[in-house]
C-alpha cells in the first residue's frame, strides 16, 4: 500500500519526549465476524457457545476431496458493509490461499483475498472530543480495503495435562478484514474509529460487534515520528479485543518506541502482543521470521463475480446509518450536534428516541432520553434493551408535562416510580394525587399562609423584588411541588404588590 500522509500535525495530539514532541501514527486492521447463519464456504452453523466441534462440516475439517462453496449471504454482507463505508465495490474479486501451518488450521492454508479484494477504498468519519470548549472535531479516516476470509479454529491448552485440544467451531467462519489507512494520530482517535466502525456494522447488521465474544478484534499498527516527518517503522499489536485496550496498547507502545529512539536505538518491525495486566506490549515475532504466505488463487474457487443489479438491490435496502441519522436529528428536530451524537451512538437508542419523539417536541424528548433514561440506565448498569421504562411510558410522561397535568418536577418523581414499579403513568398520577394544582383558590390559600407567617421576608422582598423567588419556593414546598409554578409566581407578585418593570 502506498502511504500518503493526509494530515498536518496537530499540536493537541503530540506527545512530548525527552528530545521534543512526537507524533503517533496509527493504522488498524479490524477482523469482524460476518453475521450469517452458516460459514463462508460450508453449511455448518456459526452459532456462538455450542459444544466444541459441534459446528464442523467435512469442509471445515478439511477432509480430502471436500470443495468449498461460497455462501452468497456472506458476499451480500461484505457488499453491504462496503456500501456503509462509502467504499468502492469490486464486482470481480479473487480468493487466494494464504499458506501457513497451524494446528488449528486443518487445511494448511486460509482462504483469503489478497490482490483483488471485494471492497476497495472507503472512509469513516470519526468524531473526537469534546474539547474544553465543548466542541467535537470530525475527522475522515481512510479505509484501504475490505476483504473476506476464513477464521481459524482454536487450540485449547488447558484441557489436559500433556495434550492440546482443538475446537474447529470457528474454522471457516466468515470474517471481514477491514484495513484502515495510517490516518489516526492518537489513542482517542483509534478508539473513536473502532467505536464508529462497530456502530456502522451494527446498524448494517453485518457484524454483531461483540468484542468479548471475539466477533470483532483489532490488529493495531503503531509508529512514531517527529511531527510531519517521514513515517517511522511500525509495530503491529495483534488481536486486541476491547476498545479500552486499543487505547492502552497505543499509549504504551508509542512510549516504548519513543524511549528506544531517544536512546539512540531503532525500531524493529515486529508483531507484538498487548498484556492488559501489565498494560504493556511484548514481542511475539520479528519481521525476520515473518511469514512468506505464498499466496496464490485458490484453484477450487472461481473468481467471485456479481453484477451491478446485485449491488443496487443491496443498496436500496440499506438502513439509515448513524451519520445520516445524526444530520436528520439536527436539521429536522433542532437537536444539538452533541445530543444527536449521543442518540445515534447505538441504533437501539436512536430507535427508542424516535419512538418517544414521534408527534412530540424533539428537544424535550431528547432531554428526557439523554438525561433521565440514559442516566438511569447508566447508573443501574443496564443496556437500552433492558430498560424498565418503555418509549410509550416515557412519551406519556412527557405528554402530561406538556398539557399541564403534572409539573416538570413531579415528572421526575413519576419517572422514578415507573422505573421501579412500572404501570400506566396516567393511572399512577391519578392514584397518587400527583396532578399539578392549577386551582388558583388553593394556590392563593398557600400563598396567603406563607406571607402571613413571614412578615420580615415580606418587607425584604418589597424592598428588593428579586427576593420574591423565596416565596415561590416556599409555596411550591407547601404544595408538595404540585402547584403550577407560573400561577404561584403571578400570585406572589400580586400579593406583595411587586410590579414587573
Ligand atoms: P501488511 O500488508 O504488511 O500488513 P499494510 O501496508 O497493508 O501492511 O498495512 C497494514 C496496516 O498498517 C494498515 O492499517 C496501515 O494503515 C498500517 N500502517 C502502515 N504503515 C504504517 C506506519 N508507518 N505506522 C502506522 N501504521 C502503519
Ligand atoms: Mg496485515
Check pocket membership of 231 for ligand 1, CB cut-off 6 A: yes
Q: Which ligand is nearest to the CA of 290?
A: 1
Using the 3D structure, point to which of 250, 270, 289 is the last residue of a domain. Answer: 289
Q: Are residues 127 and 266 in the same domain?
A: yes
Query: What's residue 416's pLDDT?
Result: 97
Q: Are residues 54 and 187 in the same domain?
A: yes
CA of 327 to the centre of ligand 1 (A): 32
CATH code of the domain in which 454 resides: 1.10.10
304 inside domain: no
Q: Determine the residue of 24, 27, 30 to mutate for testing ligand 1's pocket, defined as the one with the most ligand atoms within 8 A of the Cβ atom.
A: 27
The answer to whether position 1 is within a domain reads no
* Shared domain check, 328 and 257: no
| Cα 10 to ligand 2 centroid, rounded to whole Å | 27
Best probe residue, ligand 1, of 113, 123, 147, 179 (max atoms within 8 Å of C-beta): 179
CA distances from 465 to 455, 457, 461, 468 (A): 15, 11, 5, 6
pLDDT tens-digit series, residues 39-65: 999 999 999 889 999 999 999 999 999
pLDDT classification of 437: cutoffs 50, 70, 90: confident
pLDDT at 303 over 60: yes
Instruction: Report the nearest-CA residue for atom 6 of ligand 1.
Output: 1
* Residue 172, ligand 1, Cβ within 6 A: no
Residue 156 lies in a domain: yes
Q: Are residues 449 and 371 in the same domain?
A: no
How far from each other are the two terminal CA atoms of the chain, in whole angstroms?
71
Same domain, 143 and 278: yes
User: Tens digit of pLDDT for each residue in 240-270?
Assistant: 999 999 999 999 999 999 999 999 999 999 9
Spatial contact of 344 and 326, defined as CB atoms under 8 Å apart: yes
- What's the CA gap between 446 and 467, in Å, rounded? 18
In this predicted structure, the answer to whether residue 6 has a pLDDT above a threshold of 80 is no
What is the structure's pLDDT at 436? Answer: 81
The rounded Å distance from CA 219 to ligand 2 centre is 8
Task: Cell numbers for 389, please give them.
Answer: 421504562
The closest-lying atom of ligand 1 relative to the alpha carbon of residue 222 is 25
Q: Does any domain span residue 7?
A: no
- Ligand sitting nearest the alpha carbon of 238: 2
Nearest CA to ligand 1 atom 17: 27
Q: Is the pLDDT of residue 68 over 60?
A: yes
Q: How far does CA 35 lie from the centroid of its chain?
A: 17
pLDDT at 290: 60
pLDDT in the model for residue 311: 98
pTM above 0.95, yes or no: no
Which ligand 1 atom sits closest to the C-alpha of 180? 14
Q: What mean pLDDT, rounded, does the chain reach? A: 93
Give, for 491, the enclosing helix (H) or strand (E): helix 485-496
Beta carbon of 237 within 6 Å of any ligand 1 atom: no
Is the same domain home to 377 and 243? Answer: no
pLDDT digits (tens, 9 = 90+) for 117-174: 999 999 999 999 877 787 888 999 999 999 999 999 999 999 999 999 999 999 999 9
Q: What is the pLDDT of residues 329-387, one digit of tens each?
A: 999 999 999 999 999 999 999 999 999 999 999 999 999 999 999 999 999 999 999 99
397 lines ligand 1 (CB under 6 A): no
Residue 8 covered by a domain: no
Our CA angle for 161, 167, 171, nearest 5°, is 150
**pLDDT tens digits, one per residue of 16-45:** 999 999 999 999 999 999 999 999 999 999
Asked if the structure places residue 312 within a domain, the reply is no
Q: Is 290 in the pocket of ligand 1 (CB under 6 A)?
A: no
**180: nearest Cα among 135, 217, 146, 228:** 146
Closest protein CA for atom 3 of ligand 1: 1
* pLDDT surpasses 60 at 433: yes
Q: Nearest 5°: CA angle at 45, between 159 and 242?
A: 65
Q: Ligand 2 centroid vs 297 CA: distance in angstroms?
A: 18
3 lines ligand 1 (CB under 6 A): yes
| Cα–Cα distance, 273 to 214 (Å, whole number) | 16
Same domain, 397 and 450: no
Ligand 1 atom, smallest distance to 179 CA: 14
Does 306 reside within a domain?
A: no
C-alpha cell at 248: 492502552
CA of 221 to the centre of ligand 1 (A): 6
**What's the average model confidence in pLDDT over 206-231?**
95
Residues 104 and 78: their CA atoms lie apart, in Å, by: 25
* pLDDT score for 459: 87
- Residue 484 C-alpha to ligand 2 middle, in angstroms? 65
Q: Are 34 and 176 in contact (CB under 8 A)?
A: yes
Q: In this structure, are residues 374 and 349 in contact, taking their beta carbons and an 8 Å threshold? A: yes
**Residue closest by Cα to atom 7 of ligand 1:** 1
Domain that includes residue 485, residue range: 440-496
Cα of 185 vs centre of ligand 1, distance in Å, is 14
Give the ligand 1 atom nearest the CA of 1.
6
In a shared domain, residues 129 and 218? yes
Check whether residue 229 and residue 370 sit in a common domain.
Answer: no
Whether the CB of 29 sits within 6 Å of ligand 1: yes
Tell whether 391 and 471 lie within a shared domain: no
Whether the per-residue pLDDT at 289 is higher than 70: the answer is: no
SS3 readout for 372-421: HHHHHHHHHCCCHHHCCCCHHHHHHHHHHHHCCCCCHHHHHHHHHHHHHH
CA-nearest residue, atom 13 of ligand 1: 27
**Does pLDDT of 2 surpass 70?**
no
Residue where a domain stops, chosen among 431, 450, 481: 431
267 and 322 housed in the same domain: no
Same domain (yes/no): 269, 231: yes
Most confident region among 78-82, 400-404, 407-411 by mean pLDDT: 78-82
320-347 residues labelled b (16+ CB within 10 A) or e (exposed): ebbbebbeebbeebebeebbbbbbbbbb
**Whose C-alpha lies nearest to ligand 1, atom 19?**
182
Closest C-alpha residue for ligand 1 atom 2: 1
Which of 274, 289, 304 terminates a domain? The answer is 289
Which of residues 153 and 284 earns the better pLDDT score? Answer: 153
* Cell 419517572, located at residue: 415
Q: Is residue 27 lining ligand 1, measured as CB closer than 6 Å? A: yes
Is any atom of ligand 1 closer than 6 Å to the C-beta of 71?
no
Answer whether 181 contacts ligand 1 (Cβ < 6 A).
Answer: yes
Number of Cβ atoms within 10 Å of the Cβ of 262: 13
CA 29 to centroid of ligand 2, rounded, Å? 7
- Phi, psi values for residue 411, rounded to 5°: -60, -35
Q: What digits encode the pLDDT tens for the residues 467-489?
A: 888 998 998 888 888 888 888 88
> In the block, which residue shows the cell 463462508?
40
303 belongs to a structural domain = no
DSSP state of 368: I
Number of structural domains, the chain?
3
Amino acid at each position: 500500500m502506498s502511504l500518503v500522509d493526509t494530515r498536518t500535525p496537530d499540536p493537541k495530539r503530540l506527545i512530548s519526549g525527552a528530545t521534543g514532541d512526537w507524533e503517533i501514527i496509527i493504522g488498524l486492521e479490524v477482523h469482524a465476524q460476518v453475521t450469517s447463519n452458516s460459514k463462508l464456504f460450508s453449511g455448518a452453523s456459526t452459532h456462538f457457545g455450542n459444544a466444541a466441534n459441534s459446528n464442523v462440516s467435512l469442509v471445515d475439517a478439511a477432509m480430502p476431496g471436500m470443495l468449498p462453496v461460497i455462501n452468497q449471504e456472506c458476499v451480500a454482507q461484505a457488499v453491504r458493509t462496503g456500501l456503509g463505508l462509502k467504499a468502492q465495490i469490486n464486482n470481480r474479486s479473487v480468493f487466494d490461499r494464504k499458506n501457513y501451518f497451524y494446528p488449528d488450521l486443518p487445511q494448511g492454508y486460509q482462504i483469503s483475498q489478497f490482490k483483488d479484494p471485494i471492497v476497495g477504498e472507503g472512509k469513516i468519519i470519526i468524531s473526537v472530543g469534546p474539547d474544553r470548549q465543548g466542541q467535537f472535531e470530525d475527522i475522515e479516516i481512510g479505509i484501504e480495503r475490505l476483504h473476506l476470509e476464513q477464521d481459524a479454529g482454536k487450540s485449547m491448552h488447558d484441557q489436559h495435562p500433556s495434550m492440546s485440544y482443538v475446537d474447529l467451531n470457528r474454522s471457516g467462519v466468515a470474517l471481514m478484514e477491514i484495513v484502515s489507512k495510517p490516518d489516526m494520530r492518537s489513542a482517542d482517535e483509534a478508539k473513536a474509529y473502532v467505536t464508529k466502525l462497530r456502530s456502522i456494522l451494527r446498524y448494517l447488521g453485518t457484524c454483531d460487534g461483540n468484542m468479548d465474544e471475539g466477533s470483532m478484534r483489532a490488529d493495531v499498527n503503531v509508529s512514531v515520528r517527529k511531527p510531519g516527518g517521514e513515517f517511522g517503522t511500525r509495530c503491529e499489536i495483534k488481536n486486541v479485543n476491547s476498545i479500552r485496550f486499543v487505547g492502552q496498547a497505543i499509549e504504551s507502545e508509542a512510549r516504548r518506541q519513543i524511549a528506544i529512539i531517544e536512546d539512540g536505538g531503532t525500531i524493529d518491525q515486529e508483531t507484538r502482543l498487548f498484556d492488559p495486566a501489565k498494560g504493556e506490549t511484548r514481542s511475539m515475532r520479528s519481521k525476520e521470521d515473518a511469514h512468506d504466505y505464498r499466496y496464490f488463487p485458490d484453484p477450487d474457487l472461481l473468481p467471485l463475480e456479481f453484477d451491478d443489479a446485485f449491488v443496487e438491490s443491496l443498496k436500496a435496502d440499506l438502513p439509515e446509518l448513524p451519520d445520516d441519522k445524526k444530520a436528520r436529528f439536527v436539521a429536522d428536530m433542532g437537536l444539538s450536534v452533541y445530543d444527536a451524537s449521543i442518540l445515534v451512538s447505538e441504533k437501539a437508542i436512536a430507535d427508542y428516541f424516535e419512538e418517544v419523539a414521534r408527534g412530540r417536541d424533539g428537544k424535550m424528548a431528547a432531554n428526557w432520553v439523554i438525561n433521565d433514561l440514559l442516566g438511569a440506565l447508566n447508573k443501574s448498569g443496564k443496556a437500552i434493551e433492558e430498560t424498565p421504562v418503555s418509549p410509550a411510558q416515557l412519551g406519556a410522561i412527557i405528554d402530561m408535562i406538556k398539557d399541564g397535568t403534572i409539573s416538570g418536577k413531579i415528572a421526575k418523581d413519576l419517572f422514578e416510580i415507573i422505573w421501579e414499579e412500572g404501570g400506566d403513568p396516567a393511572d399512577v398520577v391519578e392514584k397518587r394525587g400527583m396532578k399539578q394544582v392549577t386551582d388558583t383558590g388553593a394556590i392563593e390559600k398557600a400563598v396567603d399562609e406563607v406571607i402571613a407567617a413571614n412578615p420580615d421576608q415580606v418587607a425584604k422582598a418589597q424592598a428588593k423584588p428579586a427576593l420574591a423567588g423565596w416565596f415561590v419556593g416556599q409555596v411550591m414546598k407547601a404544595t408538595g411541588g404540585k402547584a403550577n409554578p407560573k400561577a404561584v409566581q403571578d400570585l406572589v407578585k400580586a400579593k406583595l404588590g411587586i410590579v414587573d418593570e
